[in-house]
Structure 1
Amino acid sequence: MNTRILKSCLLGAMLVLGGCASGLTGETYSRDEARAPQTVRMGTVESVRLVQIEGTKTNIGTGAGAVVGGVAGSSIGGGRGSIITGVLGAVAGGMAGAAAEEGITRNQGIEITVREDGGQTRAYVQEVDPNMSFAPGERVRVLTVNGTSRVSK
């Protein structure tokens, strides 16, 4: 019975964390950005390098981990021992859940430095898109909507 509850909690946590992921590629727009006017600037790629985009850090991973850890811990021992191991399991599970959430939602990013036609040089970070690559010397568009910029071809 406890194993079934533990598996259900773990599955629920994974589904919740998977739902937190959002696209950060140059091709992904939020609902608020869709159909909003954009500023378009042209430029030339100066350099490109791979970077890591940090994962999300919300209370969801901590909470889900604490529930799973608490259930798992409470199944060890009996009486007061069960309560103590449940509390310890919840604390350890919360810490593990927070780390898991950050790791699961971490993305490979790309930093694209662009010399814009107006003379400004700016760097833009977005998630790696396997369907789009950038190379120094290449002409690109920098699109800005609602304060969010992306590099596109």
Structure 2
Amino acid sequence: MNLRQKALVLMVASVFVTGCASSLSGDSYSRSEARQAQAVQIGTVVSTRPVKIEGTKTGLGAVTGGALGGVAANSIGGGRGKALATIAGAAVGVLAGAAAEEGMTKSQGVEILVTLDGTHTTRAYVQAADGTQFYAGQRVSITTTREGTSRVNPI
């Protein structure tokens, strides 16, 4: 495999790894959530704080990295050395691919504490920081799907 082919394989693999990340923002819905009835509650923001949302660990990055590392290292040496280089390249690729997947899919988030109207219940909601500003005293709606996914949006 020449250098151009290896670069193409790497680009395609990175698209697969980053393409698997779903949006965690308050205004994104999956295809299965669209056109479904959802419960809505109204409340008041008590406080907010920035949080970090971990990246995914599906194994796709590790598999892709292992394959790419093995292919890249296969061009090194000959005979037994080539086999050892391929194994080592695959092992390093697995570690690098797993780290790359997690790094590319982690995001900044916001934790929003909301007291729900008509109750004395305060709940914490975490979603991706998408530029929407939340502040104490702000009125918000909380939309919850049948599966339990909740989103907070200003009213």
TM normalised by structure 1 equals 0.95
Aligned to 2:6: 6
Q: Is the 8 A contact 1:2 1:75 kept in 2?
A: no
1:52 is paired with a residue of what secondary structure? strand
State the 1:5 CA deviation.
Answer: 3.0
* Cα distance between partner residues in 1 of 2:37 and 2:4: 51
* Cα distance between partner residues in 1 of 2:4 and 2:87: 20
With 55-64 and 5-14 compared, the bigger mean Cα shift is at 5-14
State the 1:45 CA deviation.
Answer: 0.5
Q: In the TM superposition, what whole-angstrom CA distance separates every residue of 1:46-99 from its partner, at most 9, and x where no partner exists?
A: 110111111111121011101111012111111110110001100110110001
Aligned to 1:103: 103
Identical columns (%): 52
Unaligned runs of 5+ in 1: none
Establish whether residue 150 from structure 1 lines up as the match of residue 151 from structure 2: yes
Establish whether residue 64 from structure 1 lines up as the match of residue 31 from structure 2: no
Establish whether residue 17 from structure 1 lines up as the match of residue 33 from structure 2: no
User: For 1:1-153, what aligned pairs fall within 5 Å after superposition?
Assistant: 1-117=1-117, 118-130=119-131, 132-146=132-146, 147-153=148-154
1:151 is paired with a residue of what secondary structure? strand
Q: Is the 8 A contact 1:69 1:86 kept in 2?
A: yes
* Cα distance between partner residues in 1 of 2:67 and 2:38: 44
1:152 is paired with a residue of what secondary structure? strand
Give the partner amino acid of 2:90. Answer: A
* Cα distance between partner residues in 2 of 1:33 and 1:72: 41
State the 1:119 CA deviation.
Answer: 1.6
Unaligned runs of 5+ in 2: none
Q: How many residues align?
A: 152
* Cα distance between partner residues in 1 of 2:130 and 2:58: 25
2:126 is paired with a residue of what secondary structure? strand
